[in-house]
Structure 1
């Protein structure tokens, strides 16, 4: 199976490349200049040229705070480009898997959110991602929109990497404790994408295997408790563990509003595709070990 993925350096595409041999798939990552999501005219020709069996729309404008002052670009990349990718997939007659986010919900009183729950994004990023979902839906029905949350991996910018960087020279780290969600290992998302892709190809006319699905790591938490888990894993490898100071969202003002509780209900994807994400706590130590690396050990002495 040949999978074309938008993006070249993001967490998901990197995880897909890592697992490609194990899963028996070919990953073709398409990024700039061949595919520039701010230049819609580049998208269709580049995707058609590689003749994929499935397209994964993974690249996105993910700088949540920066998006507040750059809404035009955020909506161009997350909204308009998503629709253009869907049109290319329809022209080729291939399934599309579009990656979306828990930030399409406002996080007030509705979690864990089912796929049918009313959306209400509270940030430019969330609204632009919801616009992308609608753009994909407007093109046709041969798609899966996969909402996920709090992605971490050994690749790219993510919360686990940030915590480990802060731990290099701090004895304590202040982390928000009143935002709740479900961390998700990037490798688990990649495995889910491959599973969904196989079944979409195998069951081409089964529209129960189309639509919106939620997928995230098993076990909810908050950012401060997530940081505690990261530092517990770090301590196992290098014996250094900063103290986590739990703070409120109001103590750490940001440009974008975050949903206070964006937990996702994953019942539907488990029932439909027979795939359940492992507990994020089980995979976290391996990711921490990868990020630390042997060459980083000497930087943690205090």
Structure 2
């Protein structure tokens, strides 16, 4: 049987749903050819909690304000250990006072998902500015509700006196406000690919700032989600992950040596509360590869 472009694209969502099911997750996905605008999705307009993926919105807002002359990216920021937003990476995990520029805080926020760096930036940029930037770009389903520290505080409060150990209980996880898009930072898979397309086409910020955003996204250290689907030396993946109990996300751009550029957003949720689920991580790359392969077949 000859498989046409229409057949390939129409069958792709079912293949992606099957991959999600095999990995034991529910998933939302959107993939977009940055240059042609062709796209495909799986429940791409359903609201989802973004977790650390929302750091991308903060990064774009930072450069938006810098491009308007409202702040200087080389401005130094003192980062004392007292009052830092908790986290396992970057200055969040450091013990001593540090001083970093805004742009170096942005690097830590994106490369290792440093929560403390993100909230220091957010204090300078402003939550309202993040929402103004996403609104300007037409991302009507995307909104920042609180800081990353405030989000983590809701997890701690909702877990109760038993602390982190309670997060192994599915009933406790079910009540976490941080997993309810109506009560936390949220977006959709389609909105996130629209944002990525705007960044890669220099429509979100002037070219100098777009290049800076693309550079820092390309420095993310985690290879186990989106990048795992594209294990080729000549294919470049730039992305941002997001994680919370039972939730694993990543949004990013896959660039091929022939010039093809594809924005992909994948949001997953599993009923299993274990912190380490390799199959749930890997399916993000698998689903993204299925989607990108279908879009590339449509180019032929």
Question: Normalized against structure 1, the TM-score is what?
Answer: 0.29
Question: Normalized against structure 2, the TM-score is what?
Answer: 0.29
